[in-house]
Structure formats: structure tokens, C-alpha cells
Amino acid sequence: MQVKRRGFIRSAGIAAPAALATAALAAPAIAQSRLEWRMVTTWPKNFPGLGVGAERLAKRIGDMSGGRLTVRVFAAGELVPPLQSLDAVIQGSAEMSHSAAYYWQNKSRGLNFFTGVPYGMTSRELAAWLRYMGGQEIWDEIYDKFGVKGFISGDTGTQAGGWFKKELTGVADIKGLKFRTPGLGGQVWAKLGATVTNLAAGEIFQQLQSGGLDAAEFVGPTNDLALGFYQVAKNYYFPSFIEPGLASELAVNKSKFTALPKDLQMIIEIACQAEYDQVASDFYAKDPPALATLVSKHGVKVHPFPEEILKAGADAALAVLTDVRQSDDPLTRKAAESFVKALVALRTRTELFDSPFQSARQKYFKIS
């Protein structure tokens, strides 16, 4: 037994330096496997809801990966102008963009369907289409042309309709109105007679104040309170009929994404799914007190849109959607047809379950 023990010690003495050498060689490899990516956003720094969601998403990825992939977030304008964040990813100066896909409709009108469509899908309907009814696959096809992979990463719910310096009594009041609003919704308002422009969040207030805009919409009470629109416009309209369930996106450089180990790819995907729900909860919790502050402290007047405008908006939305379905671009047509087919199916559930319940609760269930 004694001889065997000495032999073991001698063997261990030989093996120990070898093990240390192996560990020393492995250490640099481990260090090299740690990545830091850059995320550029269209949101101002510390912006409630969407900007905070981008920061939280970056932290999730770092925490879930045990620090193997960390993400440094740049607010709008810190690394690139806010509406050039996707171009930064395409060109390789950033690995990630946190924004909204409909900001890039100049690249493909089909991208509108992965953010929000006038009189289109609610947030739950949109997620169902993307995850279970072929929407994500079509989005992947469109973004493949630009070397990008997209994920829905935030959910505002149904948005507010916008801020107007003057009250709206009907469609005639929209004629010539200088209005900030993006995507297909902007095309709807243009059909109603508005002069439409798109601006990043941090640029809207100055244009409202200077008279460059007569009206603007962004998201809803939480964001709008932070942006200070109440200082120059007092008429706040609900709900948005052009953005019934807006999704923000995380767009990732596809070649760098596919080069990641499979577990890191899955971490990005799952983190985005978590943030889609987390951002929605954040807005739902904070919008009611923000709206109360706007009304009680800042004298904001809350209005429903006149029925004439809602009807004209629906007619214009149908016309815009019909035009997109006839696009010369096959992938835009494919996105539009898939979206419409899914909407026709999904709205049966919403209109049978959710809408009647909400109507009954509002009418009969009085509680305080």
C-alpha cells in the first residue's frame, strides 16, 4: 500500500504541472470567447418604456449569458443619428439596433407589418402571427436582403391617437394639418388630408413648439408626459386607430448572430420574448398615473376621435392596405397577404372573447 501511495504521489506530481499548463492555455481562449456588442437605438437616453426596455434587454442578455455576451447601449445620437440605427447594423458599425421596423419602410414596405398596421392586429394577435402563423419567417426573408435578423422586443399596446393644438370636429379639420406620424398610419393620415412627416422622439417637441407641426403622436401617456407635448398642445385624442398594437424590434447583424454558439442565439431570442411582455406591463402600469398627471396637473383635455374621422380612417386604411397588397415587390405582397389572412382568423377570437368582455365590464361592473 505504501509503494502504491508513493507511485500515486509521483504520478500526481507529474500530472499537476500538465493540468496547470492546460488551464493556462485555456484561459486566454475563455477570455477571447467573451464578446461586447454595441446596440444603437432610436430612443433618447433613459426614455421610459422603450428606452428603458432596450437597456433592460441588454442587461438580460449579459446576465443570462454569464457575461459571455455583453451589450453596450447607445441612445439616439450618441453613436449614430436616431433614424440611422438599422443602417449602422447593416454597415457593421453596430451589432444591434433597437427601434421599430416601420421606420425602414423606404427599404421595404413589407417591414410595416412587423410593427403596426392601421386598423390591424392587436399586440397579442401580432405575436400569434409572428410566432405561430408564418410571420417571423417572412420577416426573416425580407431582412435577409439586408443581412439582418429581426426580433419583436417590446409592446406598447394600443397607442394614444395624438396631440392636437386645435380640437377636431371632423375630417375637414385635418386638411393641411402638419402631423408627425410614421409608417402606413402616416399614409392613412395623408389620405385624410394631413401633411405627414416622421421624426425621432427627441425631435418632435421642438417642431411642435416652433410651429413646424400642428399635431403629433408618439406612443401614449408615459412617453408623451416625458416628452413634454402638453406644454404646446392640450388636446389629447384616444385611441390610435393607426397603431393598435405596436411592436418595437431588435435587429441584429445576421452574420454575427449566426456565428454565435447556439445557446447565445437562444438567449437573445428568449430575452427579446421576455422584453416584449415586460415593456407591455411597464406601459400598462405607468400609463394611468401619467394620464392623471397630464389631466390634473397640466390641464390636458382628453377626447375620443369623432366618428366621422374613425370611419374615414378605416376607409383610408383599407385603401392603403389594398395598395400594399398590389406592390411590385413579391416579399411585400407575401407579408401583406399573410398578415391579412392571419388578421381575418385572429380577430374572430378577439371579437368573440375580448371585445364583448371589455364592453360588458365597462357597462356593468362598477368598482372603486
Across the 368 residues of the chain, what is the mean pLDDT of every consecutive 10-residue run? 40 42 40 85 96 98 98 98 97 98 97 98 98 98 98 97 98 98 97 97 97 98 98 98 97 98 98 98 98 98 98 98 98 98 98 97 96
Can you give the pTM of this predicted structure?
0.89
d(CA 138, CA 331): 8
Q: What is the pLDDT of residue 28?
A: 40
Q: Cell triple for residue 18?
A: 500538465
Angstrom distance (rounded) from CA 341 to CA 336? 9
Q: Which residues pair with 197 in a beta bridge?
A: 180
pLDDT of residue 119: 98
- d(CA 211, CA 206) in angstroms, rounded, equals 9
Nearest-angstrom CA–CA distance, 156 and 279: 7
The C-alpha angle with vertex 59 and arms to 54 and 60, in degrees rounded to 5, equals: 95
Domains of the chain: 34-155+245-283 (3.40.190.170), 162-244+297-346 (3.40.190.10)
Buried b / exposed e across 215-224, counting CB within 10 Å, b at 16+? bbbbbbbbbb
The answer to whether the beta carbons of residues 161 and 241 sit under 8 Å apart is: yes
pLDDT value, residue 33: 80
Asked if residue 21 lies in contact with residue 14, where contact means CB atoms within 8 angstroms, the answer is no
Q: What is the DSSP string of 202-259?
A: HHHHHHHHHTS-SEE--S-HHHHHHHTGGGT--EEEE--SS-SSEEEEEEEEHHHHHT
Q: What is the pLDDT of residue 16?
A: 43
To which residue does cell 383635455 refer?
301
